[in-house]
Every structure is written in structure tokens, then in C-alpha cells.
Chain A
Amino acid sequence: MSYALREALAAFRRTPLLTMLSVVAIAFSLFIVGLFGLTAFNISQAVREVENKVEVVGYLRDDATAMQLQVAQEELRRLPEVQELRYVTKTEALATAMEEMKEFRDVFTDLESNPLPASLEVRLRPGQSSPEAVSRVAKRLQAYAFVEEVDFGDGWVEKIYTIRRLFGAAATAIGGAFALVAGIIIATAIRIAVFARREEISIMRLVGATDGFVQRPFVLEGIITGLLGGITAAALTWVAFAALNRYLFALKWLPSEWIVAVVVAGTVFGFLSSIVAVRRHLEAV
């Protein structure tokens, strides 16, 4: 085992509490990021699922002619956003309504004429169902004179996107604040470690150890701390996932690359904090 690694590990034995504090601080800041990741990932998954069901429905006036419908259907099918186009007649609409709303069956049965309009149901292609695409198709549909009204889900797509952005901003702010605290704790830990080993450091310099050699154990300590923090954060995120999944609602677990990213982020963070701190504090020895 190299000198630097041995010394870095010895630091954990010398000041276990401080090291643990550093690990916990990194873990918490990355846990926040992990929770955000979990939320964002599941929202995207939900959005994608719902996106596949995105429909733009145009309700038709009763006086629409078969010829007009024929032309409109051909035109609409040619739009790049359109996956599927279905013409629902008044009769079909009534049948569906009776099927889906059994409690109103009597009302529908007693009617003298069918009050429900025929409609054109447009299903959008996956990946073509952004708010912009939806409103483009809706406008196109609206443009036909025989289309009475267009329904496309009251802008819920925009709402989901907004929620996701809000989550992102909140996680960045909270995660950033935690990261700052983690950085300060790591720097303090290193400062104490440098102080505890100042004699050793001064002798190392005396006998001609290079600055890099003197710094290496501290930086390695930071890297290990960050690595442990990252792993802890990933574990905490998993615990949160498991708990939510069990008691609140079904969630999907994050892709493994995201987990790797959390651990790598912790490691890089530990490395950067320690190198900045050690450069500053070693000057004072």
C-alpha cells in the first residue's frame, strides 16, 4: 500500500467523527440531488406515458358533409405529428358514453335525438406531443369550418413541464446549499488534519518531500470521503424510493447511470474541496 493511501486511511482512524461528519454532509447534499433525480425521472416517465395517450379531439357540427370529412381526414393524416386518426360517429359517441357513464344510461336512453357530436380523434406520435405540437394540431383542426370545438387537455402538458422545472430549481438551490456546507466541513476536516500532522509535514518538507507528495494523503482522504458520501447518498435515495414505493405510490427506480453519476459527483466534490483546502492550509505550516 502506498504511503499516501496508508496515511489517508489513518486519518479516518485518527478523527473518525470529523470524517463521518464530512461523509454525512456530502451524502445529504447528494441525497437532495438524488431525490430530485428520482422525482424528475418519474415525472418524465409519467409524461412519456401520458404523451402516448395525448389526443386532440375535434367535435364536429352536425351539418358536416361526408365529402368535407374525407378531405379533412386525408389532410390531417399527412401531418407529421399525427399517429392515428379516428372518426367517431354520433352513434359511436353515444354508445361509448353509455358504456362509460352507466349511471346516466337512463338519461341517454330516454333522449329523442342523439345530443352528442361526432368527432375526429387525433392521436399524436410519441415524441411529437410537446405543448407546441399539441397546440399546432389543435389549431389546424380548429381551422375547419365544420369543427365546432377542439379539446386537448387544457394545457396540462405545460403544467407538468412547469412542475418539473420548479422541482429542478428547488433541488438546485437546496442541493447547492448542502454542497456549500459539505465543502466547509471538508475544508475544516482538512484544516484539523493538517494541524494534527504539522510536525510530520514540516519534517517531510525538511527532508525534501515534494509538495505533491505532502498533499496527496489529504487529497486522497477527500476523495475517499466523497466516494463514501456518494455511496451513502445513493443508498439513502434508494431507501426513500423503497419507502415511497411501498407506502405512497408506485415509482420507477433510477437508471444505473444516474446512480453512478451521484457517486462520481461525490468523489469529484471531495477531490475538489480537499485540494483547495490543502493548498491553502499547507502554506501555513
Chain B
Amino acid sequence: MIRLSSVSKEYARSGAALRDVSFHVRKGELVFLTGHSGAGKSTVMRLIQMADMPSGGEVRVSGFSSKLIRQRDIPMLRRKMGVVFQDFRLLRDRTAEENVAFALEVTGTKRSAIAPRAHRVLTQVGLAHKARAYPDELSGGERQRVAIARALVNEPLLLLADEPTGNLDEWAAKGVFELFREINAMGMTVLMATHDLDLVRAHPQYRVIELSQGAVVYDSAPTPATREPQQA
């Protein structure tokens, strides 16, 4: 699903963000990506979305390679993944349902299909009763659920979450993570960047990859590179 091979990334202004990072996340896994702020978690997330391209090495996501992908194919890659951020990134002038529908609207979904799908996924995240509420009328946890619903509505194969619980209180964070577990149990691959070590420790059954100063310093269950050479 995701394969990073000897990936390095240098920014013109801030210098090296990643050095020789390699890991492989298989289909259906839920993986924590941990590390201090500035360790390179967000850079990894950006590379996986191909919002940035690596300076060296290769990123492969769901059949797309950073070495081969054309600019106009990137939207197709993005449709195969849902992304959730710490700051939710909802549009404040739209209701919860409209925020979810937006992701369908702008990817050319048939108009008649939009409302039912948006409603279904809001139900899935437990927010059907708040469909008409604006983001400002929702709690942090509820906002993040709307964001998750938006990430899921295009039925992606992969969910990327960049510090999704960073702005939430403990209870809300728990609820959001439970939602990730459910989503993962349904077969979706989840990669969650977090520095919430309590959360990570509370779920030892999931794989942890730790970054420090742009390099992988720990991987609880490294996938042998040779096991699935064809599948990335």
C-alpha cells in the first residue's frame, strides 16, 4: 500500500527533513508514526500524498510511484486516500453535511448520489444528528469526525491522519481513535502520525514506526522488503 525506499527530503530553506527513510505499510494495517515535533512525520505524510516529491529514493503509494507519476495523475492518487489533520480543515461557511458533500462535488460525483452518500458516512462517524450544524457549532471531537467523514466519503483505500487527536481532549481523542480502529477493522489501511505516546502505549497491538531527526529509529514490526516485492 505504502512503500518508502531510501527516501530523503531536503528543503531549500530548512535543510534535510528526512534521511534514508524506508518502510512498508501493507494493506489493512494500522500503523502509528511517532516522533517529536520536527522529526519528519508531517514530511512523510506530505510525501505520501505526493504534495511534495522526495529529493532521493522512491515513494510508492497504491500503485503510483513518485518517480513516474505525472502531475495530472496526482488527483487520482488523492482520491484513493483520505487525509485528516490536527486542525480539521473544515470550511466554516458550510454545514457538516456540506463539508462532506464538498469532497464528492469536487471529484465529479453524480449530483443525485451526493446527499445519500454524505449522509451515510456521517451516520458511520456518529454525527447524523449534527448534519446541519456549522463547524463553529461543533465540539473539537465532532469537527474531527466531520473531517473523517469527508476523508472517507470517496471510499479510499488508505486513511492518513496527521496528529488527528492533537487538538482534542482525552475523551474526544479516544472516541476518534476508536473510529479509526473500526475503519481499520473494515479493511482500510490507516497511517496515523501522533506524538501522543499514551495513546500509542495503550494499543500495543498496533505497529509503531518512530522517527527522530528525519530517520527511522524504531519499527516494532518491520516488513521484510522481500516479502511482497511486487506490491507497494
Binding site for B on A (CB under 8 A): 3, 199-200, 202-211, 213-214
Contacts and interface: CB of A to CB of B under 8 A. Distances in A.
Contacts of B151: 207
Query: Which secondary structure dominates chain B's binding surface?
Result: helix
A207 B72 contact: no
Given A200-B91, A203-B89, A208 B76 contact: yes
A-side binding surface: helix, strand, loop or mixed? helix
22 contacts: A3-B105, A3-B106, A199-B89, A203-B89, A203-B91, A203-B103, A204-B102, A204-B106, A205-B75, A206-B83, A207-B78, A207-B102, A207-B106, A207-B107, A207-B151, A208-B77, A208-B79, A208-B107, A209-B75, A210-B72, A211-B72, A213-B106
A31 to B, nearest CB: 37
A208 B75 contact: yes
Contacts of A202: 89
A214 B71 CA distance: 14
A63 to B, nearest CB: 89
Contacts of B77: 208
Contacts of A199: 89, 91
B150 interface: yes
A209 B106 CA distance: 5
A213 B77 CA distance: 16
B154 interface: yes
Interface in B92-111: 102-103, 105-108
Contacts of B102: 203-204, 207
Interface string B69-92: 001100111110001000001010
A277 to B, nearest CB: 20
Nearest to B150: A207
A206 B77 CA distance: 10
Interface residues of B, number: 20
Contacts of A200: 91
Nearest to B80: A208
A82 B76 CA distance: 73
A207 B154 contact: yes
9 closest cross-chain pairs (CB), A and B: A208-B78, A208-B79, A209-B106, A207-B103, A208-B75, A210-B75, A204-B106, A208-B107, A3-B105
Contacts of B154: 207-208
A204 B94 CA distance: 14
A211 B72 CA distance: 8
A283 to B, nearest CB: 11
A209 B154 CA distance: 12
Contacts of B83: 206
Contacts of A211: 71-72, 75
Nearest to B147: A203
- Residue of A199, A206, A209 most packed against chain B (CB within 10 A): A206
Contacts of B71: 211
Interface string B28-50: 00000000000000000000010
B91 A209 contact: no
A200 B49 CA distance: 18
A209 B77 CA distance: 11
Nearest to B107: A208
A31 B211 CA distance: 64
